[in-house]
């Protein structure tokens, strides 16, 4: 064999090996891409109170993810018998939480103060939620069950105590949430009918919005139901937005982008002060969220332990242990990070 032949043989062998390697890597990539889809969907679910809530990536070309249908829920058709009774009790607990559970709720809100109409209307819906848990929640850095998630809102949004897992109240709440999830396949993380309450206009604002302008808008479009002083007129007519009877610093609503998203989509209810529901701009909703969160509210002990893996969102309402370890302070972060914590700290100093 002459040296030229040798060279060609070597080159073609190398080429064959290279092609084989590309094919193997290609197959592996394909497999992990479909897994990646599952992961992405999951983390968008886990994003609930923790990030921008980007929608899950679509399935890879070969196998499009089937669209899950939104179940039609009929509260007039709750079955008779013990299961139906638990479902009905659960619904009642959602709507009258503060009056029915005074030992556990620490403010004047009900679950339906944020999850309107038992979580069935568009405000902050939980249709299908029982199919989406257990789920990894980055704020806790662990997989939470539905009961854990309910208690997350009990401790923070309701400024209260955990409902015991082995209690009729918890069983009733889980029964209700399961009833309004019937027909949604277990393991569904991405529910197309759930829209996250997020407005991220704050990211483009170098300075905090003017609170003077915000207060005028609040008095015009919000105060009639929520009170001039934000103390509310009732959990179902206009819940407390700040002060001792509102959600605490640890709640998802204490994040400016979440509050702005909620306000833009849902408030004012109907029409108020010449402003129709759905008419507020992103900037107005952000301004109102900033105004609401510029007031004092209950603190949340243990908040520094949230997002233990250092993946707190940029509008987290407070600094975490990891932030502090990295040298972040209330003075050297963008205005929208720990915005609500600054208000609570200022109120503590003023006392």
Nearer to ligand HEC, 57 or 233 (CB): 233
Nearer to ligand HEC, 237 or 329 (CB): 237
SS3 135: strand
For the chain, helix, strand, coil in percent to 5 are 45, 5, 50
Q: Which tokens go with 83?
A: 């299961």
Q: Which tokens go with 15?
A: 């080429």
Closest CB 267 distance from ligand HEC, rounded Å: 4
Q: Are 338 and 315 spatial neighbours (Cβ–Cβ below 8 Å)?
A: no
How far is C-alpha 338 from the chain's CA centre? 17
CA atoms within 13 A on the CB side of 96: 8
Q: Which tokens go with 299?
A: 């603190």
Q: Which tokens go with 115?
A: 């999850």
Closest CB 172 distance from ligand HEC, rounded Å: 11
Closest CB 111 distance from ligand HEC, rounded Å: 3
Nearest to 259 by CA among 4, 49, 107: 49
Q: Are 89 and 81 spatial neighbours (Cβ–Cβ below 8 Å)?
A: no
Nearer to ligand HEC, 34 or 52 (CB): 52
Nearer to ligand HEC, 107 or 320 (CB): 107
Nearer to ligand HEC, 32 or 145 (CB): 145
Q: Which tokens go with 21?
A: 């390697």
Residues that bind ligand HEC (CB under 6 A): 48-49, 53, 97, 109, 111, 113-116, 123-124, 126, 129, 132, 149-150, 153-154, 157-158, 173, 196-197, 221-222, 224-226, 236-241, 246-247, 251-253, 258-259, 262-263, 266-270, 272, 288
Q: Are strands 135-137 and 142-144 parallel, antiparallel or unpaired?
A: antiparallel
How far is C-alpha 48 from the chain's CA centre? 3
Closest CB 185 distance from ligand HEC, rounded Å: 15
Nearer to ligand HEC, 157 or 320 (CB): 157
Nearer to ligand HEC, 48 or 320 (CB): 48
Nearer to ligand HEC, 29 or 121 (CB): 121
Q: How far apart are CA 306 and CA 118, in angstroms?
A: 27
Closest CB 323 distance from ligand HEC, rounded Å: 21
Closest CB 66 distance from ligand HEC, rounded Å: 20
Closest CB 149 distance from ligand HEC, rounded Å: 4
Closest CB 340 distance from ligand HEC, rounded Å: 12
Residues 6+ apart with CB under 8 A from 227: 233, 238, 240
């Amino acid at each position: 064999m002459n040296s030229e032949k040798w060279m060609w043989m070597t080159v073609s062998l190398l080429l064959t090996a290279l092609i084989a390697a590309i094919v193997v890597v290609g197959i592996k990539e394909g497999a992990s891409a479909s897994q990646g889809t599952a992961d992405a969907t999951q983390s968008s679910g886990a994003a609930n109170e923790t990030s921008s809530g980007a929608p899950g990536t679509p399935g890879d070309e070969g196998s499009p993810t089937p669209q899950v249908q939104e179940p039609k829920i009929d509260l007039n058709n709750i079955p008779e018998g013990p299961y139906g009774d638990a479902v009905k009790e659960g619904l009642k607990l959602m709507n009258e939480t503060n009056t029915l559970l005074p030992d556990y709720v620490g403010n004047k809100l009900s679950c339906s103060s944020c999850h309107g109409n038992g979580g069935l209307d568009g405000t902050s819906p939980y249709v299908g939620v029982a199919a989406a848990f257990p789920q990894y929640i980055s704020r806790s850095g662990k997989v939470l069950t539905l009961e854990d998630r309910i208690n997350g809102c009990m401790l923070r949004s309701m400024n209260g105590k955990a409902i015991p897992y082995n209690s009729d109240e918890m069983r009733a709440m889980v029964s209700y949430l399961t009833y309004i999830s019937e027909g949604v396949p277990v393991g569904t993380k991405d529910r197309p009918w759930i829209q996250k309450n997020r407005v991220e206009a704050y990211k483009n604002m170098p300075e905090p919005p003017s609170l003077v302008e915000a207060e005028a808008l609040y008095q015009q479009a919000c105060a009639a139901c929520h009170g001039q002083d934000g103390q509310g007129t009732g959990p179902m007519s206009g819940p407390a937005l700040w002060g001792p009877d509102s959600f605490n610093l640890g709640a998802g609503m204490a994040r400016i982008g979440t509050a702005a998203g909620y306000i833009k989509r849902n408030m004012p209810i109907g029409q108020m002060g010449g402003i129709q529901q759905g008419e507020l701009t992103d900037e107005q909703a952000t301004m109102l969220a900033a105004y609401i969160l510029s007031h004092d509210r209950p603190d949340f002990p243990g908040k520094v332990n949230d997002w233990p893996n250092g993946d707190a969102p940029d509008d987290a309402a407070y600094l975490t242990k990891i932030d502090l370890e990295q040298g972040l302070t209330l003075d050297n972060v963008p205005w929208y990070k720990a915005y609500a914590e600054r208000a609570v700290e200022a109120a503590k100093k003023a006392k």
